[in-house]
A and B are shown apart, each in its own frame.
Chain A
């Protein structure tokens, strides 16, 4: 733990931390009990600041809210195992959808990659520059193929695949934040049981990306689900995006 990252407890408790640093800091929190304790105290302190600003909402809001809960399904509790896993690996991530279609759009890849700020995965891509470098590196593979598409909900995505190198990179755009306490988790599918390859979080501009380590094998699809924070060993949530990987 560096003094610098520890100093972020205050900014974190105040939500004054940009999205991409938040994910990194949350990973740090999972491993630093004294930091987590300090964050809890500072969040409780911030709550007092919030309560001091109390203001009565319009009366009709209550009936609206009470009527709406009838339409909202409640999440089940997190069991101990999940909770432990959540504490161990931490990352926050938001959502995507179903891409279809094929287009070798190198320009799109480049423009998407420039907007990408956050990658938290087996291969951490810390800066935009590193990500741009990773994209062009993967594109330089002899058999690199690019697939792009967008979903009816307005999400768009591009996948770069090299079977030779056994790597996939997913670049997604227009991705909304995952619901609170949830994360996007990315899977390789169609080669045995779905394999988790990482968690994904969009930055403030709704871009998210993820690069796998080599070893995609004979996977046929890449999919994204919404899972409890920290991810799941097997998909449990809605599939928000699926793309067929070119062979």
Chain B
């Protein structure tokens, strides 16, 4: 706990350097380095906000959740270690969980009616799929998503981008639970191999 430079609302660093790695920044942030946190913000805020927004939808709530996630990254930076995966994965896993918690707690009150209702409504996944695929900035991800079977892709998208549980996915797609579990896993494994995610 030596020097502590407080930077409030400082300008982003204009000096261009090799983009620092999120994991390395997290390790600096763990030591209370507020400048490193600012760089971390610049790297992760857009992916975090985009993902949260996709799940939560409401812009004001999405900002709130994004802020929570960023503060949590600050708070728990010392708990990050490279053996847990990349820094970006650490941040995005946290972001996804927070977004999902937000929509699920908002939902739980009306869950029962919802469920009864859901069976009668038409499947909204076409709409989701379309938004996802038209807005995907990463060509590779889009290409890999199309390499999945329809059921794999629908299941993965509904779970990840809508924050549904596998039970809800199973309800929505009228497909047995066991099948959905398997499709989620197989779909992700296929994505992993297609994207060349390091083992």
Contacts and interface: CB of A to CB of B under 8 A. Distances in A.
A14 B76 contact: no
A68 B166 contact: no
A68 B67 contact: yes
Nearest to A10: B185
Interface in A152-193: 177, 179-181
B37 A69 contact: yes
A52 interface: yes
B174 interface: no
B186 interface: yes
B142 interface: yes
B23 interface: no
A228 B94 CA distance: 16
A45 B195 contact: yes
Nearest to A176: B105
Given A18-B165, A62-B45, A50 B95 contact: yes
A41 B192 contact: yes
A50 B92 contact: yes
Contact of B192 (A42, A51, A70, A204): A42
A1 interface: no
Q: Which of B66, B84, B165 has the most CB of A within 10 A?
A: B165
Nearest to B62: A57
Interface residues of A, number: 56
Interface in A27-44: 37, 40-44
B88 A47 contact: yes
A45 B192 contact: yes
A67 interface: yes
Contact of B67 (A53, A61, A228): A61
A228 B45 CA distance: 26
Interface in B89-114: 89, 92-98, 100-101, 104-105, 108
Given A8-B181, A11-B181, A66-B8, A72 B71 contact: yes
Q: How large is the interface on B (under 10, 10 to 19, 20 to 34, 35 or more residues)?
A: 35 or more
Nearest to B29: A74
B77 interface: yes
Interface in B28-64: 30, 32, 34, 37-38, 41, 45-51, 53-54, 63
A10 B184 contact: yes
B95 to A, nearest CB: 7
A184 to B, nearest CB: 16
Interface in B140-156: 141-142, 156
A58 B63 contact: yes
A66 B9 contact: yes
Contacts of A17: 165-166
Contacts of B67: 61, 64-65, 68
Contacts of B96: 14-15, 46, 50
A45 B197 CA distance: 6
Given A43-B89, A44-B197, A54-B47, A61 B97 contact: no
A54 B137 contact: yes
B84 A42 contact: no
A9 interface: yes
Contacts of B181: 4, 7-8, 10-11
B190 to A, nearest CB: 9
A44 B89 contact: yes
Q: Which of A10, A64, A68 has the most CB of B within 10 A?
A: A10
Shortest beta-carbon contacts, A-B, top 3: A10-B185, A55-B50, A10-B184
7 contacts: A10-B185, A15-B97, A43-B85, A50-B96, A55-B46, A78-B78, A180-B72
